[in-house]
Amino acid sequence: MFDRNGGHGRGLDAERPEPAGARSQEHNPMSSANGTQADPAASLPKPEGLEGVVAAATALSHVFGEEGRLVYRGYDIHELAGKAGFEEVAYLLWHGRLPNGAELDDLRQRLGANRALPESVLATLRALPGDAEPMDALRTGVSALGAAEHGLFDATPDLDEAIAVTARVPSILAAFFRLRRGEEPVPPRPELNTAQSYLYQLFGREPEPRHWRPLEVYLVLLADHGMNASTFTARVIASTQSDLCSAITGAVGALKGPLHGGAPSKVLDMLNEIGSVANVEPWLTRALDGGERLMGFGHRVYKAEDPRAEILRGMAEEASDPAFFALSKTTEERALAMLEERKPGRRLYTNVEFYSAAVLAAVGLPGDMFTPTFAVARTVGWTAHVLEQMANNRLIRPQSEFVGPTDKHFAAIEAR
């Protein structure tokens, strides 16, 4: 593992100099008051939110933040979006190269054959309240899968397991989606590709090309993204030699938060609240005056436009209702200008979530299925990262700087 100064410490345990820009903690409670020895952790770098810390070496994907560029296994995302199918990209991420025709057919068959859910997972989903959030249902469903199929998911994660969990994630979501509407889950049709099968299992009817094709491009765009929070979570869990379902369960939990994958439904809420082009300026002014964050803007790594946002903007223009697209576009333009005025130098641009909302709504999905659909795509990235972690594993175990007292004495309960 490498820090941005070029130092490396596998498992995040290296003692290294403070990186430029890292927040410094000068106070060291371990060193003075009680005369104990200085805590070596106090002199380690501690950038807030681990910004600038390189937590793993990966050949899977990389975000070139200054250039606004995303690369999967050597291919710029523009090379793949709209050209490669989701299964081709899954193969690319798992194997490091694009498949030939026979290899792609084989992967499609294996995914198709793995979509059915064990009865106990369906029973677990049936037991959830109908108003549970789909991301909570997914987290529960993946966890139940690990328990139901512990024979499959018990050993060191491998490609068979990656395929199995990638195939079952959309089935879990579709089953819960139907159960909460009082409908029975639809058995999968193995001949359908992932985008088709997901829509078929959700709505129980033949998916239309105008829906599954944009969904497939969306799945390609969201399949992997460097060391994002949920991927890091998956790698940390895998590094303990836990099982793949545990790693994916944790990753789903990390993805759920609005600072990561939970933003697109909030983008839709924002646009619905704004309601009209005339209300854009007053709404944004009120939100920013109130200290709110505008969902769908800003990114830890991109200091230029997220290339996925650019592609999704074009798709949204084609696929969504013209009035809704006009509202989105005006909101985006005013938000960018106002963020630049109020946060000069922060370089806040449109991120992937902003136009994901318009594209996924046009595909026919309700807002609370946006983040779960992100998870359908990212399961490929999570599993690929877990396999990469296991190929050269060392426990990921960083340190903390202790900032509490160390010299208290125990008092019996009646004396407190």
Which residues lie near ligand ACO (CB under 6 A)? 49, 258-261, 263, 293-300, 339, 343, 346, 348, 351-353
Using Cβ positions, the residue closest to ligand ACO within the complex turns out to be 298
52 and 21 in contact (C-beta within 8 Å)?
Answer: yes
The DSSP H or E segment spanning 400 is: none
Identify the burial level of 95 via C-beta atoms within 10 angstroms of its C-beta, where 0-12 means exposed, 13-18 middle and 19 or more buried. middle
Q: Which residue number, 21 or 366, has a Cβ lying nearer to ligand ACO?
A: 21
Q: Which residue number, 51 or 79, has a Cβ lying nearer to ligand ACO?
A: 51
Among the listed residues 88, 149, 216, 353, the single catalytic one is 353
Q: Alpha-carbon distance 338 to 348, whole Å?
A: 10
CB of 351 to ligand ACO, least distance (A): 4
Q: Which residue number, 315 or 348, has a Cβ lying nearer to ligand ACO?
A: 348
Q: Which residue number, 93 or 352, has a Cβ lying nearer to ligand ACO?
A: 352
Is 353 designated active site? yes
The DSSP H or E segment spanning 61 is: strand 61-64
**Which pair of structure tokens corresponds to residue 240?**
């303990």
Q: Which residue number, 114 or 228, has a Cβ lying nearer to ligand ACO?
A: 228
Q: How far is CA 183 from CA 122, 144, 167, 190, 370, in A?
A: 13, 21, 21, 21, 20
Q: How far is CA 90 from CA 156, 196, 299, in A?
A: 20, 16, 25
Q: Indicate the pairing of strand 69-72 with strand 61-64.
A: antiparallel
- What is the identity of the amino acid at 155? A
Query: What is the maximum span of the chain, computed from C-alpha positions, in angstroms?
Result: 76
CB of 259 to ligand ACO, least distance (A): 4
CA atoms 28, 32, 33, 39: torsion sign: positive
Q: Which residue number, 165 or 294, has a Cβ lying nearer to ligand ACO?
A: 294
Q: How far is CA 163 from CA 108, 159, 169, 194, 289, in A?
A: 10, 6, 10, 12, 47
CB of 197 to ligand ACO, least distance (A): 24
CB of 51 to ligand ACO, least distance (A): 7
Among the listed residues 299, 332, 385, 388, the single catalytic one is 299
Q: Which residue number, 16 or 293, has a Cβ lying nearer to ligand ACO?
A: 293
CB of 194 to ligand ACO, least distance (A): 20
CB of 65 to ligand ACO, least distance (A): 10
CB of 414 to ligand ACO, least distance (A): 47
- What is the identity of the amino acid at 263? A
250 and 234 in contact (C-beta within 8 Å)?
Answer: yes
- What is the identity of the amino acid at 148? A
In sequence order, the 6+-apart residues with CB closer than 8 A to the CB of 416 are none
Q: Alpha-carbon distance 230 to 8, whole Å?
A: 22
Is 208 designated active site? no
Which amino acids are annotated catalytic? 299, 353
